[in-house]
Chain A
Amino acid sequence: MTHPLYGTTAIAGVGLRQYKRGAAPLPERSVLVEAVLAACADAGFDPAEIDGFVSYGDDHNEPVRLMPELGIRELRWSSAVWGGGGGGIAGAFGVAASAILTGQATAVVIFRALVEGSSGRLSAAVMAHHLTDHLLAAGVVSPAQVCAIRATRLFDHHGVPRDIVEDLVRASYYHGNRNPEAVSFGQDFDIESLRRSRMIAEPFRLFDCSRENDGAGALLMVAADRARDLAKPPVYLLGCAQGAEAGWGDLLENDAADLYATAGFRPVAKRLYADTGLTPADIDVVQLYENFDAQGVMSLIDHGFCSHESAADVIRFDNLIADGGKLPVNTSGGNLAQGFIHGIGLPIEAVRQLRGESANPVAGARTCLLAGGPGSPTVSSAIFANRFD
């Protein structure tokens, strides 16, 4: 039986506003309003008809406060996915679709806004979820250090070669170089700049880490049949899964030994593929949340694109780029090279890629996987498509 989420809702419009960290020209809510208006303009949709919102990662903008500026007549749905990191980003689409499919809302905006002057540093906000005296006493106070400890285990215990992260970083900058909206647009990236960047927490140097931007992103979701009447071709949600399995979570580093150096996606990916009837071989493009490059590698492994043993064969620059790669990843540049507004640029690129609007188009792409923030206690993933059987 076809899963109820399969192709029944669609993204009709996307809007993105991105600035250098600390350089947004407007307060956070105003930047968000602009992104929502852009998504509606993209779809040819009257913003007054929005009746729902979903976010993730502790966004500070309670949707009801957006109503006056957007001219919304009646709000029927506002919710968020739990967790302080980017783990919930893909799950937000499942929540929005659930609201639409159960008749509780008809036009739902999935959004994330982050302007440092309004919300402070993202890393500090994420960490506030997890900081305990156990972490403080060990000097472990940042997502970078938490993820570095897991990365060490991936490399030293599971034997994944350290240098494959460089291929992921190079592919990200290759795409960013060609994307006019990316922070790295027009910049030739030399891998030596990663190798020489300052050490943050071993094994991570600065360029192994995604660096925050100011901005906001918004995606308008409606029922699939309604999307077909709007301005742009629909990008359908085929499936979405969120959660965690026993032995994973906020466990003071006591995750099950075989899960410790994963990104937490094994049960989510398994359910997502089962619900959609798809396999990793059916995925044409991946938008991969990489807070840190090693966590991106773990996420690709969790989603079945490779194993510890085959990682070095699959995670190769030539294989990851839009021009001829079999596993094109982060075709906008991703969090590393396009810009990092808590990951919201990734689903927007998924939509653009499936419409043929990407700066790095993948020829004939039908499906795109969105993998949420790796290593979060609650993680989520989703699959989008521009057509389906």
Chain B
Amino acid sequence: MTRSSGADAPYWQGLADGKLLFPRCTGCDRWMWPAGHRCGSCGAVGVTWTERAMTAAIFSWTRTWHRFALTESLDLPFTSIVAEVDDCGIRLLGRLDDPDRIDPVIGEPLTGRIGTTVIRTGVGTDPIPTIIWSRLA
């Protein structure tokens, strides 16, 4: 499955277009993440892709020091977070700007910008669009 063929394809296309889009059930307005096509709560089929601001709060985090395969494009250490996006409660995995290695605090407010993470494999490179989060000053 590729980014253009999965149920979350509009999410990836949204990032490519500079927008954060999430699926919302057409029947009960519930946010549906991971993306799917049927709402298990109300049984409705179909979603509306809805834009949300790139603001969030830290839900949890880790700072990686070991060079795992597929992370070669990221300088060590790098900080990965789970960010809870405002006004929908959806949690996203992302990266945090952390130049001074200050331990994140759960609940800390964040603002995001769209960047890329480049994955290098034996068959080439793949720049994946992603949100890079920063702590509010």
Contacts and interface: CB of A to CB of B under 8 A. Distances in A.
A266 interface: no
Nearest to B69: A141
Interface in A185-219: 198-203
A82 to B, nearest CB: 18
Which bracket fits the contact residues of A? 20 to 34
Interface residues of B, number: 36
Contact of A137 (B65, B68, B82, B129): B129
A133 to B, nearest CB: 5
B34 A135 contact: no
A142 interface: yes
Contact of B60 (A124, A135, A157, A200): A157
Contacts of A254: 33-34, 90-91
Contacts of B3: 133
B50 interface: no
B48 interface: no
B100 to A, nearest CB: 15
A149 interface: yes
Nearest to A249: B34
A152 interface: yes
A152 B119 CA distance: 26
B91 A253 contact: yes
A153 interface: yes
A251 B80 contact: no
Contact of A138 (B69, B90, B93): B93
Given A149-B60, A157-B106, A252 B33 contact: yes
A213 B64 CA distance: 24
A336 B60 CA distance: 25
17 contacts: A137-B93, A137-B130, A139-B64, A139-B71, A140-B62, A140-B93, A142-B68, A153-B59, A156-B60, A157-B60, A201-B65, A202-B65, A203-B62, A252-B92, A253-B82, A254-B34, A260-B59
Interface of A: 124, 133-142, 144-145, 148-150, 152-153, 156-157, 198-203, 250-254, 260
